[in-house]
Every structure is written in C-alpha cells, then in structure tokens.
Structure 1
C-alpha cells in the first residue's frame, strides 16, 4: 500500500462532489451498518464531506486538506487511511490531477447500499456479523426490516395522470434551457464488486464438470459470489467446484445463499472464528522478506515494512505495548512528523541504549535532530545513528593526560559539543568500548535472529 505522505499532503487542494442527496435513512444505514466496519473516524470524514457539499448542493468550495485535519482533529495518516476505507467500502470515489507540482483532488460521495442489499450482499454482512456478533446483528436486521402486508386480496383503484389532469391548452411556451445545470437527485448506490486478478477463472472452469454444472449456470451474480467467497475465505480454484456441487438445488441451479452458508461454516470450523475485516498491507517480495540479505539489510527491510505498534509488539514477544509507550511514540511522531521507518529506527535505537526503555524527552531530542537532518528512510536513520555512535566511541578512546591545563579541558569540552549532538548527554548511558562486549554481541545476535524470524512469518 502506498505510503500516505507520497500520495497526500496537507496543502493539497480538494473539492467534494455529490451526484444527489443523502437521505435520513441513508444516514442511519451509514451509522448503524457501516460504522462498525470502518470506525468513527471514517464516519466523521464521510459526514463532514457531505456537510461541505450540502452547502452548495452538488459541489463544495475548494479547500486545502488542512481544513479537514483541523475539523476532524486527526493526523494526516489517519485521514488518508479513513479515505481508503471509505473507498474500499464503496462510499467514496477519489480523483486527482497535478498542475505545476500541486495536486488537486475531487472526492465524490456515494450513498450506502439499501438494508436489503446490505444484508444479502455476501461480503459486508459477513464482516458485520463477525464484528458485532449474532445478537446485535439480528437486532439490526429487525431494525431495518418490517413485515410485508399481503395485497393480493385487494383491488387497485389508482388513477393515471390522464384520468386526473386535463390536457395542456396554454400554447407553446418554451421551457428555459437548463442544460448547464444538474438537478439534485437520489444517488444510485453501487455494490462492491471484485475483480478476478487473484482468482484464475480459466483454471476453475477447467476443473468444473460440465455434466454437473453447465457454463450457463455461472451467471454474473454467481461469478461475483465466487470472487467474494475467494476474497473473504481464500477458497482456492481447486476447492471451489466441490462447494458449488453441494450448493445445487433440485432444478440444477446454484443456490447462492446456501453456497455462502457452507463456505462460511467450513471456514469457521477450520479457523475457529469468522473472518475479520482488515486493511490490506503492502506485500514484500522474497528478497524483501530478508532471504539472502545480511544482518544490516534484513534489519533495514524489517524497519521499513513494519508499523511502530507492531514493532513494539514484536519487541515485547507478542505482548500488547504499554499505554505510556504508545503515547510517547504517538506524541513524538505527531510533533516531529517523522516517517514511519525513521520512527521505527528511533524506537530500536533508544531501546538499545536505554535497556529496553522509552524516554520521551530523549526520543524527542533525537527526533528533532533527525528532522533537521531531513532523514526520510530507515537506512538514513541507521547510518546517522551509527555515525554518532562511532564519534562517541572515538571520544571514549582518547587517553586522559593528567597534566592538561584548564584551557585544554575547556577546549576538549567545547570540541565534544561540536562533534556530538546534545542528545548523547541527555540520558545516562554506559560508555561504549572500542569493541562490543559479549553481552552486546549476544543481544545484537538475538535481535537479528528475532527480526529474521518475524520477516519469515510475515
């Protein structure tokens, strides 16, 4: 997935577009059915964008993203991730153009699915069920449904237009030309559709027995159902035919509802729980996972690909990080606006120097120094930290002469301040010898081994 700072900056301009109006019922659907899947920040972004466009009916005024950040009180990364979730759930379309190195965005607001389509979607309803549980899921179904009234015993007496109104006899007055204006109307919601990029339909059809299921039975609806089941439950091309055979009804048609049911039950039995909706992570190649790399390269790849939260989890052997540590990391990132890989290097570096502890003031000082140095990648941060560490070691190696004058001592102190950044003296750290101690070597070896294991698991 693209890093957010490469695709979006706070100064980028945007406008909001709507092809129609959002009804009160739509707002209920967004709040009660979509919010559990996307979170409160996405709901706030969606409602804020729609409020902006309602001021001018179909188009909002142009603003910079700074306005959104101030109104929502969230970071640029959180705004970008909220936008991606809205796009993935079919609630937003994004367009961009670049002129003179400045980006201009258009955000088109889309309506939610109707309750009937949502609960029969075969994708969103499954993730909602997994998120909120059976009791709440059934309560929402009852909230958005009502008993149908049987009308077959009634006779329709509705009059037509011609029965009610007289023919027009007022002449041939011309209708004003409004071709340049678009009238607001209810937006037609669009269901989420999957492509077959990760599912080989040719292989699947070759494995499907024509005597059991003819090709005509694989309609567009069946095809989308197959792709959704593959996307949700990772059913392979080889396993999918057996599910379809079991889902055939008495007339030889594919019962889509039953097909979803047996696939869902099979997944739950095998995994012990229904699937959960998660944002897609960037995929790394075999080389990027650390195979064939030396220790330093493997560490660099790991710190480039992991999030600060996951890094703290890995350092703690899977334990949830302390709330205080998370607040320190978040505050440092927000104030200094460090890229995620650089923040990861900072966490690793501080924990190595301070015996697996995070000190806020110490981290903030280093982060400010790296920000002034315009450090943007994990490699740059690692190189800078190593350079400062080498300078520190060289100073420790200088022999102390007892006959040095006060002038010389003062000169040495001033020289040290010129060579090293202030953050080397902000925390008490054991002096580094010329060579690594056995304990340091063992710690580094264990760290590298753990990192390679994490890379292989990822």
Structure 2
C-alpha cells in the first residue's frame, strides 16, 4: 500500500463532486451491504463527503483535510486508508493537482450498486457472505427483494404521449447555455474495477484444448467472471482451464453460475473456509537480504540496511518508540524530500542526523540546507549519506580542536567524549571509525544508546522474518 504521508497532508485542499443525487435506498445499501466490507470509518467518510455537497448542487466548496480529520475524529493514516477502500470498492474517484508546494484534490462520489447488481456481482456478494454468514446474508437478500405480482389476465390500456397531448406548434425553443449549469440527475454506479495484470489470459487461452472448449466461448462476460474469481480465490491460469472444462454446456457455451459454484466449493474444500476481504499491506524485505544480515553483520551494516529499507514514516515511529509522528514534522520531511528529490534511504539518514544533532527536533531550514548539499554531491545510498555525515562531523571536530568553533552537543547518548570546556559531545555509532569493544561490555545498561537499542530490535525483527 502507498505511504499516506507522501500523498496526503492535512493542509491539502479538496472539493467534492457529486455525479448525481443519492436516494434513501442508496444509503440503506451502503449501510447494510457495503459497511460490513469496508468498516464504519469508511461509511462515515463517504457520508461526510456526500453531505458537503449542498442539495441540488454538484460541487462542494474547497476545504482542507484538517476539516475532515476534525469532523470524523480520526488520524490522517486512517483517513487515507478509508479513502483507498472507498476507491477500491468503486464508491470514490480521486484526482489531484499539484501547484508548487500545494496539492488540491477532487473527490468524485459514485452511487453504490443496486441490490440486483450487488447480489449478482460475483465478487462483493461473495465477500459479504463470508463476512456475515449465511443467515444474515439471506436476511439481507429478503430485505432488498420482493415477490413480483403476476400480470397474467390483464390487458395494457396505457396511452402514448401523442394520445394525451397536442402537437407542439410554438416558434420559440428553450435556450441552453453554460451559465445555466448542468442538470442534476441520479448518481451513477461504477462498481469494482479489476485489471488483468495478475492473470495472464494468453497463457490460459493457449492451454485450452479446441476439442474441449472453443476459444470463442471466452467472451468478455466470461473474462470478467474469471477476473473476479481470480481476485477472490487466487485461481491460477492452468487451474482455471480445468474449471472451465467442467462448466461447458451441451451447446459449447459456459455456465457461469456453475463455474462460480465449483470454484467456491474447491476453495472451501482446500482451505475449509470462505475468503476474506483484506486490505493490502507493504511487502516484507527480501529474504536474500535478510540472510546476508543473519551471517554476522556488524551494527553499521545492519543500520545501513535498516535505513535502506525502512520508510521515513516508519523511521519516525521507531525513533519515537511507536508514537505517531507530529504532522508538522511529517510535513517538513515531505517538503524537503519533494523539493530536493532525495532517495528514501538518503532521506532516512538525514532525518536521523538532524534529530540527533538537534536533540530530537526537526528544523526545516537546517534539514533543507544539508539536503541541498547532499543533492549536489549526488548522494544516492544510506551508506554514502552516513559517510557524508561522518565527514561533516570530522570537520567540526577538527575546527573544535583548533579552537575556532564549538563542538556540537546533544547528538547521541553513546560514544560520549568531552570537549575542552568539559561539555559532553554526543556522537552516533557510525561516526566513530575506530574499533571499539562490543557495546554490551563497554557500557552499563543505563548508558546504552537509543541507536544501539534500535539496531538490536531491528536485527531481531529481521531474524523473526517480520
């Protein structure tokens, strides 16, 4: 999943676009059919955005995302994830325009599927069934269904327009101009959008035997059904071929209802459960790199690897012992990274360097100055950035020894030394290139640095495969 802080900040503005009017029935569909799949926060976000558009209007006024955060009482990460779920379910389309350092969003709201579309969707209804169980699922089907009355024995006596009204004889016609605006109609449904990036239809088609199933039988409707089955049950191309063979009817066409049934039964038989709808998470680091670290990597190598692979947001969380970083700090990091176009590993080293030099504080001007310097030096990796930081420290150290500049203070709680005035100079582990004894032997537990703890916890997580 995308890192929210790189795409969304509270100061970013937005406007809501309605592609039509939602009915009371649409709201019931959202509450009973969509809410179990996406959660209450998503429903609250959808309702809030729709409500911002005034009655008989298509556009809302412009607001910052801070308003949404205050109205919903949720964090920025939760707001971003709720937005992604609405997009994935076909209830929201997002557009962004970047002007200088400002981002402006348009959120276009879509209506939910009708009950008939939802219960025959082949994707959303399966996940709903898995989520709420058979009894509740059947109750909802009855809630949104009705038995049609038979019209047998009745003759239609409806008159046409011409039977009721006189033919128009006026000479003037109504004039339509752009100033009059766009008439508001009912909101349109989009449904879930699936692509075929993860399913290779070419492989499946080539594997079909012409004597078993004609390739012409794989129509657009069949393709759409296959994509939904793959999205739900992760059926591979060759396995899908066998399911298609079993679904062939006497006339050579495919029975899609039977295809859905045998795929579902096969999944249940193998996993003893129905599939669940889950949001994607970030992929773990590659196993090969983990193995290299497990073979006796030094603290410096482990730290370099950590800074190469962690996101700036997660780095801030780790440094804060799990606390959510301040929005102002994230905004500064985002601006510096965007303006200087620094690689993420280099930005990570810069974040840690600035936090250590400024005793846990973020300064935009200070960070921007160093970032510009590293950009001019074409620093691309965490190791190169660490070398630059070490070289900068050596320069300060030399100036201090010459008595022309004070030594930096409050940098790190390890590798402590005293300057000529008796003031402690605190340095990061990777600034000191001289061989030192293992930290466990050289320091007491109380004197262990935050960096040492961070490195140990990171190496432990790598060994556990997290």
Q: Same fold (TM over 0.5)?
A: yes
Alpha-carbon offset, residue 220 of structure 1? 1.0
**2-structure distance, mates of 1:208, 1:378:** 50
Q: Does structure 1 residue 370 correspond to structure 2 residue 360?
A: yes
Deviations 1:115-172 (A, max 9, x none): 1111111111111111111111111111111112222332211111111112223x21
Alpha-carbon offset, residue 100 of structure 1? 2.3
**2-structure distance, mates of 1:77, 1:450:** 23
Q: Which residue of 1 aligns with 2:175?
A: 176
State TM-score, norm by structure 2. Answer: 0.71
Q: Does structure 1 residue 70 correspond to structure 2 residue 70?
A: yes
The one of 375, 400, 414 aligned to 1:390: 414
Deviations 1:248-268 (A, max 9, x none): 233332111111111112112
Alpha-carbon spacing, 1:371–1:260, altered in 2? closer, same or farther (3 Å): farther
Alpha-carbon offset, residue 26 of structure 1? 0.5
State TM-score, norm by structure 1. Answer: 0.72
**1-structure distance, mates of 2:457, 2:19:** 57
Structure 2: runs of 5+ lacking an equivalent: 334-354, 372-380, 391-409, 429-438
Q: Does structure 1 residue 434 correspond to structure 2 residue 442?
A: yes
Alpha-carbon spacing, 1:450–1:11, altered in 2? closer, same or farther (3 Å): closer
Alpha-carbon offset, residue 432 of structure 1? 6.4
- Contact kept, 8 Å, 1:93 with 1:108, in 2: the verdict is yes
Q: Does structure 1 residue 107 correspond to structure 2 residue 107?
A: yes
Q: Which residue of 2 aligns with 1:54?
A: 54
- Contact kept, 8 Å, 2:14 with 2:105, in 1: the verdict is yes
Alpha-carbon offset, residue 77 of structure 1? 1.2
Aligned positions of 1:251-270 closer than 5 A: 251-270=251-270
**2-structure distance, mates of 1:435, 1:81:** 43
**2-structure distance, mates of 1:132, 1:306:** 35
- Contact kept, 8 Å, 2:92 with 2:108, in 1: the verdict is yes
**1-structure distance, mates of 2:213, 2:461:** 50
**1-structure distance, mates of 2:243, 2:313:** 37
- Contact kept, 8 Å, 2:16 with 2:52, in 1: the verdict is yes
Deviations 1:354-399 (A, max 9, x none): xxxxxxxxxxx99x95343679999999x99x9624235x58xx9x
- Contact kept, 8 Å, 1:290 with 1:298, in 2: the verdict is no
Alpha-carbon offset, residue 450 of structure 1? 4.9
Number of residues of Structure 1 aligned to a counterpart in Structure 2: 381
Q: Which residue of 1 aligns with 2:462?
A: 451
Alpha-carbon offset, residue 303 of structure 1? 5.0
Q: Which residue of 2 aligns with 1:6?
A: 6
Aligned positions of 1:19-418 closer than 5 A: 19-55=19-55, 57-169=57-169, 171-180=170-179, 181-283=181-283, 286=286, 290-293=290-293, 294=297, 295-297=302-304, 299-300=306-307, 304=311, 332-333=323-324, 369-372=359-362, 388-392=412-416, 415-416=423-424
Structure 1: runs of 5+ lacking an equivalent: 312-327, 343-364, 399-407, 422-430
- Let me know the Cα RMSD of the aligned residues: 3.9
Deviations 1:228-282 (A, max 9, x none): 1112111111110101111223333211111111111211221222111111223
SS of alignment partner, residue 277 of structure 1: coil
**2-structure distance, mates of 1:174, 1:59:** 29
Alpha-carbon offset, residue 48 of structure 1? 0.7
